[in-house]
Structure formats: structure tokens, C-alpha cells
Structure 1
Amino acid sequence: MKTIKKFILSPPLILFLGILTMLPFHRINAQEFVEYKGIVVESGNGNPIAAAFLSVNGTNISTVTNSEGEFSLKIPVNISSATVSISNLGFQSKTYPLSFFNSNNTRIELNETLEELSEVNIFTATDAKTLVRNMFAKAGDNYLNEPVLMNSFYRESIKKGRRNVSLTEAVLKIYKRPYTATGRDEISITKARKSVDYERLDTMALKLRGGPFNTLYSDIIKYPEYLFNVEQMDEYTFNFGSPARINNRYLYVVNFEMVDKRLPWYYGELYIDAQTNALVKANYHLNVDNRTVASNMFVRKKPGGVKVYPVRVEYQVDYRETGGKWYYGYGSAELEFVVNWKRKLFNSRYTVNSEMAVTDWQVNPGDRVRRDDSFISPAVIMTDDVSGFSDEQFWGSNNIIEPEKSIQNAIEKIQKSIQ
């Protein structure tokens, strides 16, 4: 039997409370900018649209909406006549001039895509597995093949039930290798802040091992070994779902799942561009019904007399396109755990969520990365540091994912506690 190890992304790590070495977080000088805020909703019913993509045309500046459809977009003052495009899977894209946006309460309504996509003659693929093979084979043509330096925003939260008990936020630099290169991407921290309410963690702290790398490794095209690659195709079944459309592009939807279900197994959907066979988006899950094996895979250390196992594991990756080339734009990982204490009547449920959005990027002409103490390891556990929560201008000109209401409430409580 083949080992399950090759299928698993960097897993979370549950530890006792302990002393962690502090990483040096550096501030950067903020440039002048204009900030626009608002919400993206469905035109018919007003429901918020999560993970909608907003991009400033003619630049690499972008952001995404949070789960409540809210966004914050910061644009340098020297960009005054640009337009902004808004897109999301299943909706018709829209473009507005900057003059349309307000400092607050900008409302953008997107219409659902109602076209009968099955009738579009561009869909010519007849075998889903062959299409996925072509997706990997054409990676060199479809994705950025030069080193780029990406600015990104990372948020990591841990909830006990519905309450936030740990919150980490960071502005990062990602040193992205060409998609055809074997070298791994590297991450450095520009600035970060974190707070943990240990009193609500039942004397045990959940700590996410890997931090931003958990979301970065969801980049299936760069890191196929964490899900599947060409040599592993026969270990999966593939079939076509209903076609989709995003940003005026027609997409195949390929459903996949592992054949061997004796151990935790992956399943999900791939959204593949019909013209180029580029992967545009992927949603995938790990079935963790086998609690014993799943616990051994994800839990590295725990107190005696307690059982900890995952009950839900989900990943998402979105790619963006510029100049005919695609690149990693957004990744998320969400894991839900059950903690059963011996001699306790009720268990506890914790949700660990991490997401990262690329907000700007530029070609990085240097072949080698000059490392310093701001670089982090793939085994990092983000350190405890509350500095910055009392500073409303902490992020300066950096684009971030707008906090959801529950996270915003947690931030406000942190601000009050340190005033």
C-alpha cells in the first residue's frame, strides 16, 4: 500500500503553550494613497459575494472581498484615472472608473451568468483525465516563467466555536520561482501582529505549523506533489461537471476523487480554461472519516488524556491572468478539529482558517534571493505579538483583506484591552 504522506499539505500542529522565539517584524515607510471601501453583492438578492477579485487595470494592484463581500482597496495617489475590474466565478464581470468608488459604502452588484454554457462550441475536450494531463503539460506556456516578487496579505485565525481566540495578520513578500523551475518559493515578513486569548483555549493552544506556507502550497501547478501529478493520475477518477464562466472566460469543470478510500482521501473540482487548458481555480477537500489516521497526520503533539482529530479539511486556490500568463493570486486552508478531554462531558470544536491574497507583484530580476532574519521557514509557527492592534494606521499603504465582523470585534476588544 502506498503511503498517504505524499498527499498531505503541511499540516497544522497542536502544541502545549510554550515559549517561542520572537521574529523581527519590520515596518515599511507608507506612501501616499487613497483608500476605497465597499461591498460586492449579487444584483438579484443582495447576498454578499465572497472572494470576488478586484484589480486595478494597467497595474498589478489587486485585492479580494472577505466572506461578507466587503473590500478595501488602496491605490497610490499618482494613479488617478485608472479603472477597476470586478470578477467572480458564476457572475458577469464589471469594470468601473475610480470616480465610481467612494471612501466608504461603495456598492457593486454583479449579475449571474445565465448563458447556457453547454452549448458553447469551444468545449471540445471529451476525456477529463486527458484534459488534466494537458493542464500540467502546458504549465510552461500558461504560467509566469520568470522570478517575481509578490506583495501579499496573510490572515490566520483560530476560533473556539464562534469566538476568535487567536488572530495573526501579516504583510509578506513572496519570492516566487518560475513555474518551470524546481526551486521552492520563499517568504519574508514585512510586518505582522498577533494576539491570543489563552483563557479560552482550555489550557491548550492550537498552533498552526507552516503559517503562510499552508496557503502557498495550495498552488497545485507549482506544487503538484501535494495533491497529484502526472504519475499519480491513475490513483484518481476524473469526470466533467457543468461548465462555468469567469471574467469572460469559459471553463471546464473537472470533478476528481481518489480511488483508494481506505485512508484519508482527496476530492474536489478543477476549473480549467477551455482555450489554453490553464488551471484557473481549484476547490478541494480531504475526507477525514478515518479519525485515527487523520489525527496522526495532523496532530504532532497533544496533552495526555485528550483526543484530537480533524472533522473538516478544505483548500482553495485562485489564479490571476495578466498578459496571457497566469500566476498564483489567492489561497486558503480551513480545518475544523474536535478536542475531547477525558472526564469532560462536552467536547470543544476549533476552526483554523488561513488565507493569503497577492496584492501586487513585479518581476524580480535577481536570480538569487538575499536572505535575512525576516525570512521564515515552512515549519514556522507565527509568534505571539500584540503590537500594532492599537494603531489604526498599522498597515499603511498595504492592501489587506478587509476584516470580517467577528474578526473586527476581536480586534476592537484587543484595542480596548491595551489602551
Structure 2
Amino acid sequence: MNKLIGILFFMLLFAPILQGQQQHGSILEKVISIDRKNQPVAIILNELSQKAGIFFSYDASVIVSDRLVSINVKDTKIEDILNLLFDKNLFRFIEKEGHIIILLKENGSLPDTTTQGYKQEPFTNLTGRVVNQKNHKPIRYANISIVGKPIGTISNTDGDFILKVRPENKNELIAFSCLGYLVKEIPVKEIKPNDIILLKPASIFINEVLVNPTSPEMVLDKAIENINNNYFTQFMMNEAFYRETVKQDNNYINVSEAVLHILKSPYNNLSREDKVRVLKGRKIPEVNPLRWIDFKLQGGPKTITQLDLIKTSDTFLDPRFRHLYSYEINRVIWYQGHPVYVIRFKPIRNVPFLCYEGEIYIDRETFAIWHINFGLNKQGLKLASKLLIKKKPRGFKIRTIKADYVVDYRQFGPKFYFSAARASLIFKIKDRSEKVNSLFQSTSELLITDLEQSQIRRFPRNQAFLITDILTETIDEYDDKFWGNYNIIKPGENLVKALKNFRLKK
């Protein structure tokens, strides 16, 4: 019944943790055959990926993925195939954990023309802070996106943002929006480095009387009935950024980040799960190492995709469990330029199950869901600890203090898509000897930065990130210039300080 309780699984373990490593042969030495004429480089790489059970990562600012190539080889090493696709005088290939990274050589320079399919024009990095025009306070989690395209980011807890714009989008408009503010559109070329973006507060309430009384249950029914109309019924490939942090009291003890591919299955086939694979990842192990315990998040990049509630349909959206909740239309507001019902829900008294309370924002015209924020009430928090903590050492008492979730959807053309999610949990952890008496706080964030229709139906088994995987055990350590041209959520000031401290300790 409670599907979302698996969103964050933790393992509380005694330190130190011993990790084994497996040795593998070179994947560049794998031998395959391929015959394709006038196909984009991206398609060729996808076929190599499926045949060899590997994955490729490259910088889109120097390689044109839609460059047409022809290739016909039999029983040939992958390294030799790559040398046919890319100039070996310019590029090098590095293998890491089952995937190959295509990089420009340090002393290499790109050709003066684009006949070989290489881009010279760099990405444009837009940076700045989104603030309230009236009081100049930072606006957290504001949406920043290219108008008419599913490409964007969000501001962090300090209102800061960074958006990396492809050369072909340099003449586009950037939209800045947030609940309670007027949307502001600015041309890419007019945004200065570290710019201050002022958003004007606006009244979001619609002052009108509904002639035909509307029940919240009817609105929820309409939202479910219109899923196929409002959401994609094709396979979609989403590029996403994911970050998970763990703090003990006021100190970061773990920071992990990754760029993901999420293969979204059609919304008219809700029984098929979305698939996740990690393109690039980095971690900062033991920013402030613990002596007694290790706190780990299991399945993070995979489980947070279950916050796509249109698919998972947890209790408060599932008609079968509606009797466990009370609903009311709390208000009607303007949201993203649309009239939106805000439905407030909470569990009825003395429900012996894990239930949530929160708000659902549903478009009054299309009945698409725009936003959901929810969390566990007091009774739910009492039940949560046994379900959220998957493993703990003896003698430890764990109490769940907070479990809150936020889910956002955006519109792209006539369709809506799962665009962002955030999960925040706080635990009080004590042991009998009082060696540990701390608050542990975990925050997981997911941001969809781009999407396109996909012909791929599944990932190779060795690439898929599973619900049993632990991100910190599958990625590499911190690298300052790691992200290249991938869009990410800019880290907040407190996290930046933790990163600086980590670099000083190295």
C-alpha cells in the first residue's frame, strides 16, 4: 500500500565499512561487428552500447552527436571502431566502471571548419541569483528554463543558479518563474555573469465564485482520467542531475552527485518501471568522517524516480485508498500562468497506516498535476522509523523527526513531464552508551535538465542502477571541473564551504 516509503532507504552501520573490488578486462578490447550507413554518431554509439554492454559519455560542446557517419566492420575492437569514428589525433578514450569517456586530448585543437563534425563555439554559462524585487531576499527553487524547450535548472537554497546554454540556443529567451511571482523572460545575450534577476511579487489568488460547485474528489478523478492526454505516451529519454547529502548535526558527512539518464516508460503503461543509469558521478567521502557509524542511502537515483506520483499513484492519489483521507479545495490560484486548484489533503483520525498530508496543484482547464508537496504527520512519523531504516546496529534507537517531499511537473508543448523532486528526512539517533546522540539529515534532489523521444526500450543490465545499489559505492571521488557542460543544481553556500574544506584537507 505505501509505495513511497521506499523513496529513501537507509543503512545504519558500524564503521569502518570494508569494500571489495573486482577486476575486469579492458572493455576497449571487446570485439564486435557493426554495419550502418549514414547514421548519426549518437545512433552508432547506442548500438555499440547495446552490443557490448557498455556506455559512452562525451562533451557535447566538441562533438556533434547528429553527425552522419557510415561504418562496416566485423570482429573489430571497440577502440579501433572509435578511432574510425573520431580523429585519434584529437581524441582519447578512457574506460571507467563499464563505460567509456570520449575526451579531447590535452594538446589537441579542433579543426577550423565543421566538416568533421566538431563544434568550435562554446556553451554559454549563465550565472546569477534570483531575488525578490521588493525586499531583495533570495528566491529558492525558482525555475530557470529556455522558453519553449525542456532545458533548464532551478535556483539553490541561496537563490543562485547556473545554466549552460548550447550554441544553437544562444538567441533564445530564458524564463524565470516561481510561485507567487510574475514570470520574467530575458534574452540569453542580455544576462550578465553573476547577474541579479529581480522577480516581482504577484497576487496568486483568483477572486471569483465558482458557479458550479466542484468537489476535490471530482478534480482528482479528472486528473486520473486525463493522464494519457496530459503526459507522454512514448518512451522518453531524460537527462537529469541528482544530488544526495547527509549531515550529522551541522556537519556534512557525505555528498554525492551524478548526471543520469532516465528512460521514462509511457504513461499509458503504468506497470512498466522507469530505468536509470549513471552517466557521470562524483562523491566527497567522509567530509567529516564518523567514528562509530556510517549512514548510507540505498537506491537513491532509482528510488527518487518513484516520486513521479502520476506513475506510482500513492495512497492519497489512489481512489482505492481515498477513504483514508479528507480533501478540500483550499484555494484557486495562478500558477505558471494557469488557473490551478490547490487541494489540501490529510489522513482521517486514527488511521493505523502510514499516511501523508499535503497539497496537490491541479490545472483547472487540463486537470494536469503541476506540483505536490507532502509529508508524514505525527502519527506517520511514529510508524516511519521501522520502515525507513533498513538496517541498523544493535543498541541504537532511531526516531524519525521529519519526512517531507516535493514534486514538480513542467509543460513542454501540449504535454507535462516530471521535472524535479526533493526528499528531506531527519532522524534522531542515539545509542545506549551515549557515544552517538545526533540528528542526521538527508536531502535528495533530482532535476530533469533535458528530454527527448527515445527509440531505446531498455538499458543493458550492467548499466542499470538498481534499487539495491548505493551511489557512493559506484562513483568516483571529487573533481573540480567534473561536470563540463552538463546542467546541474548549483550547490548552496554551506555545501560550497564543505567542498572547500574537503579540498584543503586533501
Same fold, judged at TM 0.5 (above): yes
**Offset at 1:326?**
0.3
Contact in 2 for aligned 1:90/1:244 (Cα 8 Å): no
**Offset at 1:294?**
2.0
Contact in 2 for aligned 1:51/1:64 (Cα 8 Å): yes
**Offset at 1:263?**
4.1
Contact in 1 for aligned 2:148/2:412 (Cα 8 Å): no
| Structure 1 residue aligned with 2:462 | 373
Where in structure 2 are the equivalents of 1:334-349 lying within 5 Å?
334-344=424-434, 347-349=437-439
Contact in 1 for aligned 2:8/2:304 (Cα 8 Å): no
SS of match in other structure, 2:302 = helix
Contact in 2 for aligned 1:30/1:396 (Cα 8 Å): no
* 1:409 and 2:497 aligned: yes
| Structure 1 residue aligned with 2:417 | 327
| Structure 1 residue aligned with 2:34 | none
Among residues 238, 242, 256, which one is paired with 1:168 in the alignment? 256
* Stretch moving more, 24-33 or 271-280: 24-33
- 1:233–1:385 Cα change, 3 Å: closer
Q: Letter of the aligned partner of 2:412 in structure 1?
A: T
Separation in 1, partners of 2:460, 2:366:
36
**Offset at 1:5?**
4.1
**Offset at 1:60?**
2.2
SS of match in other structure, 1:119 = coil
Q: Which runs of 5+ in 2 are unaligned?
A: 23-53, 62-121
- 1:171–1:416 Cα change, 3 Å: same
**Offset at 1:209?**
1.5
SS of match in other structure, 2:207 = helix
SS of match in other structure, 1:72 = strand
**Offset at 1:221?**
0.5
Separation in 2, partners of 1:124, 1:41:
39
| Structure 1 residue aligned with 2:340 | 251
Q: State the TM-score, normalizing by the size of structure 1.
A: 0.91
Among residues 180, 205, 230, which one is paired with 2:294 in the alignment? 205
Separation in 1, partners of 2:21, 2:445:
22
| Structure 1 residue aligned with 2:92 | none
- 1:331–1:376 Cα change, 3 Å: same
| Structure 2 residue aligned with 1:363 | 453
| Structure 1 residue aligned with 2:229 | 141
Cα RMSD for the two superposed structures: 2.3
Q: State the TM-score, normalizing by the size of structure 2.
A: 0.76
Separation in 2, partners of 1:172, 1:314:
23
- 1:313–1:85 Cα change, 3 Å: same
Separation in 1, partners of 2:218, 2:260:
37
* 1:395 and 2:425 aligned: no
Q: Letter of the aligned partner of 1:392 in structure 2?
A: D
| Structure 1 residue aligned with 2:178 | 88
For the pair shown, the structure with the greater C-alpha radius of gyration is: 2
Bigger relative contact order (CA 8 A; separation at least 6)? 1
SS of match in other structure, 1:365 = coil
* 1:188 and 2:187 aligned: no
Q: How many residues align?
A: 411
Contact in 1 for aligned 2:355/2:380 (Cα 8 Å): no
**Offset at 1:386?**
7.7
Which whole-Å deviations, capped at 9, do the CAs of 1:281-328 have from their partners, x for residues lacking one?
Answer: 000001254666322111121111111121100011000001111000
| Structure 1 residue aligned with 2:143 | 53
- 1:133–1:410 Cα change, 3 Å: same
Contact in 2 for aligned 1:67/1:404 (Cα 8 Å): yes
- 1:19–1:228 Cα change, 3 Å: farther
* Stretch moving more, 45-54 or 164-173: 45-54
**Offset at 1:227?**
5.0
| Structure 1 residue aligned with 2:8 | 11
Which whole-Å deviations, capped at 9, do the CAs of 1:329-373 have from their partners, x for residues lacking one?
Answer: 00010000000111318720010000000001111023x224153
Among residues 337, 356, 359, which one is paired with 1:266 in the alignment? 356
